[in-house]
């Protein structure tokens, strides 16, 4: 596929994704939002198993599905991660087998997705939009700043990233978040600033996983974009930081 066709395909996929996300956000219904995140979660888990070089496991899937069902009713979803870890530990002890990889999907992407849901339950759709803007601005800002001013490499994990690009991404991500909030207080700057930093390292972490797994993309379900994890990597880290800082600084 030519570069122009690849670029066109990427834009078409982005428009479809934006339309779906916008519809879910506009309706703003708890069940619909939960189902939407559930679909994203299931696809992300499947891709994470590939990156972790793990075989699919019915037991693991049952645990993760159970956690997501409980998350709908339980008021503090991130705490459910410990239920998952306890179940995995119990099964490990019963079978007398130890595979440290079995806990990985509970941490990535499960933790980030549960914090997505907690953010929605605790703060509403506005703050999911805030997360979307911070991560998107960080990503775009890092790309264009790095392309035009980048000179120094940021990390061997992702050779294309530059320090200048990262700084630009943090600047634009923080600014975008403050504009959404329409509040230029120091506490909100802290929230947007560290959420932006987290999103950049979320992207870097997924790059590390792909490099270790020897793959270019986490999947191929999104034409022109790769996999679901390729699109939500920054959000998985950003959601955790945003939720915790909002709890710390606004309550």
Would you say residue 179 has pLDDT above 70? Answer: yes
Would you say residue 184 has pLDDT above 90? Answer: no
Closest alpha carbon to 136 in 21, 1, 4: 21
The predicted pLDDT at position 9 comes to 79
Tally of structural domains, the chain: 1
As beta bridge partners, residue 153 has 162
DSSP string, 164-197: HHHHHHHHHHHHHHHHHHT---HHHHHHHHHHHH
CA distance 72 to 215: 34
Would you say residue 158 has pLDDT above 60? Answer: yes
Beta-sheet strands, E only, within the chain: none
Would you say residue 10 has pLDDT above 90? Answer: no
Q: How much is the average pLDDT of 186-199?
A: 97
Would you say residue 125 has pLDDT above 60? Answer: yes
pLDDT band for position 206 (cuts 50, 70, 90): very high
The predicted pLDDT at position 100 comes to 84
Q: Where are the alpha helices (DSSP H) in 3-56?
A: 3-27, 30-51
14 backbone dihedrals φ, ψ, rounded to 5°? -60, -40
CA distance 250 to 128: 16
Would you say residue 128 has pLDDT above 80? Answer: yes
pLDDT band for position 13 (cuts 50, 70, 90): confident
Q: How much is the average pLDDT of 129-142?
A: 96
The predicted pLDDT at position 251 comes to 74
Would you say residue 123 has pLDDT above 90? Answer: yes
Average pLDDT value over all residues in the chain: 93
Residues 240, 191 contacting (CB under 8 angstroms): no
Closest alpha carbon to 231 in 78, 60, 17: 17
How far out from the chain centre does Cα 146 lie?
22
- pLDDT 10s digits, 78-95: 999 999 999 999 998 998
Q: What is the pTM of this model?
A: 0.94
The predicted pLDDT at position 6 comes to 63
Would you say residue 55 has pLDDT above 70? Answer: yes
CA distance 249 to 251: 6
Q: What's the domain range around 141?
A: 3-250
Q: How much is the average pLDDT of 151-172?
A: 94
- pLDDT 10s digits, 26-47: 999 999 999 999 999 999 999 9
pLDDT band for position 22 (cuts 50, 70, 90): very high
The predicted pLDDT at position 203 comes to 96
Would you say residue 7 has pLDDT above 70? Answer: no
């Amino acid at each position: 596929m030519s570069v122009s066709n690849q670029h066109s395909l990427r834009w078409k996929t982005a428009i479809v994704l934006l339309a779906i996300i916008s519809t879910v956000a506009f309706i703003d219904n708890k069940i619909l939002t939960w189902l939407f995140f559930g679909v994203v979660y299931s696809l992300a888990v499947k891709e994470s198993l590939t990156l972790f070089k793990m075989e699919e496991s019915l037991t693991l899937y049952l645990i993760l599905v159970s956690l997501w069902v409980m998350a709908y009713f339980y008021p503090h979803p991130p705490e459910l991660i410990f239920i998952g870890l306890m179940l995995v530990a119990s099964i490990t002890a019963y079978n007398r087998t130890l595979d440290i990889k079995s806990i990985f999907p509970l941490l990535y992407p499960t933790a980030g997705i549960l914090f997505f849901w907690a953010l929605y339950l605790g703060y509403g759709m506005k703050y999911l939009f805030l997360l979307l803007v911070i991560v998107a601005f960080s990503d775009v800002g890092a790309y264009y700043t790095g392309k035009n001013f980048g000179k120094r490499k940021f990390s061997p994990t992702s050779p294309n990233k530059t320090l200048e690009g990262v700084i630009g991404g943090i600047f634009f991500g923080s600014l975008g978040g403050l504009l959404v909030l329409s509040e230029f207080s120091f506490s909100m700057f802290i929230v947007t600033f560290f959420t932006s930093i987290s999103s950049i390292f979320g992207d870097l972490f997924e790059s590390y996983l792909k490099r270790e797994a020897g793959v270019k993309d986490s999947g191929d379900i999104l034409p022109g974009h790769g996999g679901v994890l390729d699109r939500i990597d920054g959000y998985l880290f950003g959601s955790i930081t945003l939720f915790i800082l909002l709890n710390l600084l606004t309550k």
